[in-house]
Structure 1
């Protein structure tokens, strides 16, 4: 028999809004009898929360149901035993519908590594550090409140901002800036000993920064398909093609800039090669390579995974892409080469209402019949998704409001929220963890107004301004950004790549 919920009350954050991302973990009732709301449920779903009743009203979110009685939250297998299946060895057969709880938790864990790119990136054009990471490589996770994630960042990734991509690259208005022709693009990290023991292998992750907005950046990049061999990727099939904008972003460099003097491609290949040699070849450990990104970062994740496999730097290590809200990347030949010839795995998490995963190739894509495909595959606007799709629906979440703002549909935190409540097609939306729904509004206006969580609430204290010794407000100096390790040229030579 259901138990009546206590009257909910207005909620306030336990911590100030300028706290680190992971510090905002719960919302606490404010005990004021004058400001109580009869319709406002707690945002936090307790695993032992009582079920709603008709007396409480159907407007209460259904995830307040006792999760232990409603959905299994425990799994009878561990990562040590099943990481290969989580990594796609069986193409996630019987793991998506209903979703495997361990897979869900791993997707959220990897997704939070992607979200860390947004939380650390300096978007402010008034900042002299705009376009860089706010935090140094050595203290990256610590500064984000993620010191317990169990990974060490070994390298930052940069790309030249000389490309015509105004909706992606961010530049400072200051004359003297950290770099006039580079943007921070993400990072490479490796699991520490304790985490590796829990995961069942040493995990190397490549994480790409994406785009916060919806479709604006698509116009910057969508041009035409071109052969991967044009970027020096050693593919035996000249008909394997990738969107030219993605290849340009991945392969361009600026010899005059200390940050983008190596292309993103060269940075990824040399660091992955070094880590594979260190842990797999020299250390004799089992190593996995996990590559992830959101939006445009998802496209770069696909391209870099393909390149890592095609050039052979992965050795015998399995490579898997965890994609969030990503567009199509290449043609059908690319799909075949990616999946069949190279044995790469990709799991694409998408919101069915988001338009970004539907482009490019809205007309000719992987959905066209086989009989038609042989006629259209050679067309410059024929694209195909790779891997396996996990489709979510933001309209299933009782936390989210109706909105015409398509950037909300594309939002990374919203995808993590949807993953947390997803149990399978046709199943009720019930949050499976204590992950705070308030995070959805970190850089969006997507939560229902009744929850009293302000939109776009995450910002640095005083927008990063501090008082100097004279009492004037000014921007603080930061440590010089990390550029590239000295061993880069050595590994480029080993790969037969020209660093000039």
Structure 2
């Protein structure tokens, strides 16, 4: 079936094919918002007392057993004391098996920042803002119900691509009337507020990368060719350090004729990170962390971005390294070759923790055959080949088959689903240990945009959607209400060029 035909179908009815595949990624649905539009009233029919609906929780406990909850470490003050350890200062030795409760809660928290990209992305082809974020920077976390996280967005990120990543970029059917014909919203940068900073023990700067939003066909389009990072402008002294060409193109591509992608995603991030590190670590003298995160293809961009930040020495104030840099990767593919891993892990000392589902195919590519898992002798023979890749950092492997809430399915998009990963994190305690929810995070979230929960959960598949699909009545007519006029869209802070010039990335 053609890619375009499949992309037009709801994600819950798309059927996967065998590997090497065009697997299907969960299509995230947008946050339901209040609407002035009238809705149909629920039926007033009465049911016999014997058929009265039982509560969902009691039904789940009858069918699946009691929902166990393990004690959750109180992070009030504790995280402030241990945040460097949680961010990998000791390479997470002794924290993964059994899983440290504080590490688990932090991984879930960062995963929710990534999930926010999916929940806020506008993928509706009938909207002239398709491909952008549904919410403004100022109201982003409020609109998503995440105000209690205590962060504020400082910049939106946009990208364009010179190669084809099927269904990564979304476009409106309205053609010339759209907000942009060449750019897509690809993530955001945010910083912790004063209250959250006190709780966290430092000022936390987060860089969040969006992954694919519909079918996961990009995985088949990964180039076998590798490109020296030096060729894309990253100042690495070793030309044998290489990354997958498609990731590098997406990270560095730009179009000067487009208002939103006249700066590359790379330039947007580097200028903002430089500004925030100088402000908080330099001028204010605060403790600061830089946390880079993403899911799926966004995870690959996060790894490449963190590597770039380290090579550009943006974590330094003066001559002293003062800012810890950590990658939180969810279901991410491999990014570079063996020399990239060595440079990333050992020479630059970047910390990375990768959360994966053992049944998910995406973390197994590229380098499906030749990778860091082959015998050492064979690896020494093939590590220089363009089809050989190696994962960076430390892996935390999960298994969805251990959860009593998840059903047995052949839909590989479920294995890759981010909400499923967060559910598994909440219940995983270590190898050979029983699955038990630590925080009681609602399992219903797994079915936001997938069909992965057992029927006994009484949660319908793909339940997250806009009220009336975003349609509302205005002046007696039904119409699609978009977020705002194009002129109000955020693009780039006016000081972007200033910081890029200081970084030597643009000329005066």
In 2, Cα distance between the equivalents of 1:265 and 1:240? 18
Matched, 1:74 2:73: yes
Asked if structure 2 preserves the Cα contact closer than 8 Å seen for 1:210 and 1:295, the reply is yes
For residue 283 of structure 1, what is the aligned residue in structure 2? 284
- CA 1:181–1:217: 2 relative to 1, 3 Å: same
TM value normalised by structure 1: 0.87
In 1, Cα distance between the equivalents of 2:48 and 2:484? 43
For residue 377 of structure 1, what is the aligned residue in structure 2? 383
Shift of 1:39: 12
Asked if structure 2 preserves the Cα contact closer than 8 Å seen for 1:43 and 1:437, the reply is no
Shift of 1:187: 0.2
For residue 484 of structure 2, what is the aligned residue in structure 1? 478
Counterparts of 1:251-400 in structure 2, within 5 Å, are 251-315=252-316, 316=321, 317-400=323-406
Asked if structure 1 preserves the Cα contact closer than 8 Å seen for 2:292 and 2:302, the reply is yes
Matched, 1:152 2:148: no
Shift of 1:467: 1.3
- CA 1:349–1:409: 2 relative to 1, 3 Å: same
For residue 49 of structure 1, what is the aligned residue in structure 2? none
- CA 1:333–1:436: 2 relative to 1, 3 Å: same
For residue 106 of structure 1, what is the aligned residue in structure 2? 106
SS in 1 for 2:190: strand
Shift of 1:296: 0.3
- CA 1:75–1:18: 2 relative to 1, 3 Å: closer
Shift of 1:216: 1.4
Matched, 1:194 2:195: yes
SS in 2 for 1:339: helix
For residue 234 of structure 2, what is the aligned residue in structure 1? 233
In 2, Cα distance between the equivalents of 1:391 and 1:33? 47
User: Aligned to 2:67, which of 34, 42, 64?
Assistant: 64
Asked if structure 2 preserves the Cα contact closer than 8 Å seen for 1:159 and 1:184, the reply is yes
In 1, Cα distance between the equivalents of 2:52 and 2:161? 51
Shift of 1:464: 1.0
| 5+ residue gaps, structure 2 | 1-29, 35-45
Asked if structure 1 preserves the Cα contact closer than 8 Å seen for 2:91 and 2:351, the reply is yes
For residue 243 of structure 2, what is the aligned residue in structure 1? 242
For residue 206 of structure 1, what is the aligned residue in structure 2? 207
In 2, Cα distance between the equivalents of 1:471 and 1:373? 65
Shift of 1:461: 1.0
Matched, 1:445 2:445: no
For residue 11 of structure 2, what is the aligned residue in structure 1? none
In 2, Cα distance between the equivalents of 1:418 and 1:448? 15
TM value normalised by structure 2: 0.86
For residue 506 of structure 2, what is the aligned residue in structure 1? 498
Shift of 1:213: 5.0
In 1, Cα distance between the equivalents of 2:131 and 2:267? 20
In 2, Cα distance between the equivalents of 1:32 and 1:284? 68
| 5+ residue gaps, structure 1 | 1-16, 22-29, 45-51
In 1, Cα distance between the equivalents of 2:59 and 2:324? 39
In 2, Cα distance between the equivalents of 1:393 and 1:419? 10
Counterparts of 1:146-185 in structure 2, within 5 Å, are 146-175=146-175, 176-185=177-186
In 1, Cα distance between the equivalents of 2:154 and 2:71? 37
Asked if structure 2 preserves the Cα contact closer than 8 Å seen for 1:352 and 1:391, the reply is yes
For residue 496 of structure 2, what is the aligned residue in structure 1? 488
In 1, Cα distance between the equivalents of 2:206 and 2:128? 29
In 2, Cα distance between the equivalents of 1:19 and 1:43? 26
Shift of 1:450: 1.8
In 1, Cα distance between the equivalents of 2:184 and 2:55? 46
For residue 4 of structure 1, what is the aligned residue in structure 2? none
For residue 35 of structure 1, what is the aligned residue in structure 2? 51
In 2, Cα distance between the equivalents of 1:240 and 1:108? 32
Greater Cα offset, 429-438 or 183-192: 429-438
Asked if structure 2 preserves the Cα contact closer than 8 Å seen for 1:215 and 1:355, the reply is no
Asked if structure 1 preserves the Cα contact closer than 8 Å seen for 2:370 and 2:388, the reply is yes
